[in-house]
Amino acid sequence: MSNIHNFGAGPAKLPSEVFDELEEELVNFNGTGISLMETSHRSATYIKLNAEIQDVVRRLLNVPQNYKILFLQGGGQGQFAGVPLNLMSRTGTADYVITGIWSVIAAREARKYGNVRFATPQQDSYVNIPDLSTWDLDPNASYVHICDNETIDGVEYDFIPNTNGVPLVADMCSNIMSKKFDITKFGAVYGCAQKNIGTAGVTMVIVREDLLNQAMPACPSVFDWTLTAKNNSILNTPPMQAIEVMGRVLKWIERNGKLEKMEELAVKKSSMIYDYIDQSNGFYYAPVEKRFRSKMNIPFRVGPPKGDVDLENQFIEDAEKQGLIQLRGHRWNTSLRLQFGHC
């Protein structure tokens, strides 16, 4: 099936080597004679695997020891609640920077747990990251939340904002492990696996340990970062198979040039498409300002800036005939979209 080119934004394409490894170990994990799916999460086998995968994350992102690496369930949307439940009790208020649909949804969920301020001016459309000078940051906020890459709108940060000592929290669901960044500038980052680093079912949280021990009483135990850290992400049965797939992808990244190479590839692949769009004399249209164009997912229109439905349907139909699949944009955004995984 080598003629299939999968542009799904998430769940996204995974390296074929990872599938070879998964097939190899499916019924006999590491010589145990049983599948990982049949293995106790309290076994030496899983405890070793759990540590190994945390170590790969630590090496790839250069995570210092005062940050905990947690594996949770519930996806990015689970952490839209998890972030305020774990971090908002300090002052009862948090700043949200709105740069697209996902940051709006994160802010809406956070409102259940305290006072949510929008730190940036209301925008009619999401085509850039508002200049830092326009951000209205509350020094009393428990944290500042950003969405580092908006999967639907295709807007991506190219800088880490200075929040004057207020912990910065980033949703990196759709670009984690696609570039190097200085984790010490963040209080916490989180990302689900199914966009760039695995399959749906596991969400990684990396949190500075001084931010633990302040979960709200209403926080479900399985979303409690402190409890999860104390239990080394084995509070209850972890989604071990999803964690293993993630580990396999992370090890593949490590073997294939680490984050420097992933970033280089993301820039190269996305530039090819953006250049083509920009040189199409308006036949294709990418709405996002050049500086903030996502290197992970490219929303674009066919025809005029608002798109031409018939042309776009024809584009998708003809693309599918060529084996280019999962190109249609998100149901909340009629744009088409090209998504780049690592491979």
Cβ closest to its own copies, residue 11 vs residue 161: 11
Q: Are β-strands 297-302 and 336-339 bridged in parallel, bridged antiparallel, or unpaired? A: antiparallel
Pick the binder of its own copies from 101, 235, 273, 324 (CB under 8 A): 235
Query: What is the pattern of x (binds its own copies, CB under 8 A) and - over residues 148-187?
Result: ----------------------------------------
Write down the catalytic residue from 195, 224, 252, 295.
Answer: 195
Q: What does each C-alpha distance from 63 to 46, 58, 251, 300 come to in angstroms?
A: 22, 5, 16, 35
Our finding on whether 194 is near its own copies (CB under 8 A) is yes
When the beta carbons of 126 and 223 are compared against its own copies, the nearer one is 223
Catalytic (active site) residue 195: yes
Contact call for residue 204 and its own copies (CB under 8 A): no
Both tokens of 232, joined, read 């080394």
**41 contributes a contact to its own copies by CB under 8 A:** yes
Site string for its own copies, 86-125 (x = CB under 8 A): -----------------------x--xx------------
Cβ neighbours, 10 Å, residue 290: 9
Phi, psi of 293 (to 5 degrees): -70, 130
Residue owning tokens 């239990």: 231
Taking the C-alpha atoms of residue 203 and residue 122, their distance in angstroms, rounded to an integer, is: 29
Relative orientation angle of helices 258-278 and 44-61, to the nearest 10 degrees = 60
Residues in the chain: 343
d(CA 128, CA 134): 13
Identity of the residue, 42 or 230, whose beta carbon is nearer to its own copies in the bound complex: 42
Q: Kindly state the smallest distance separating residue 83's Cβ from its own copies, in Å.
A: 11
CB under 8 Å to 110, separation ≥6 — which residues? 80, 81, 83, 84, 88, 94, 96, 116, 145
**Pairing state of beta strands 144-147 and 336-339?**
unpaired
- Applying CB under 8 A, does 34 fall inside the site for its own copies? yes
Least separation in angstroms between CB 280 and its own copies: 26
Task: List the catalytic residue out of 68, 95, 102, 179.
Answer: 102
Task: Give 76 or 307: the residue with its C-beta nearer to its own copies.
Answer: 76
Residue ranges in contact with its own copies by CB under 8 A: 1, 3-4, 6, 8-14, 16, 19, 22-23, 26-28, 33-35, 37-43, 73-78, 80-82, 85, 109, 112-113, 192, 194, 198-202, 217-223, 235-242, 245, 323, 325-326, 331
> Which residues are catalytically annotated?
102, 171, 195
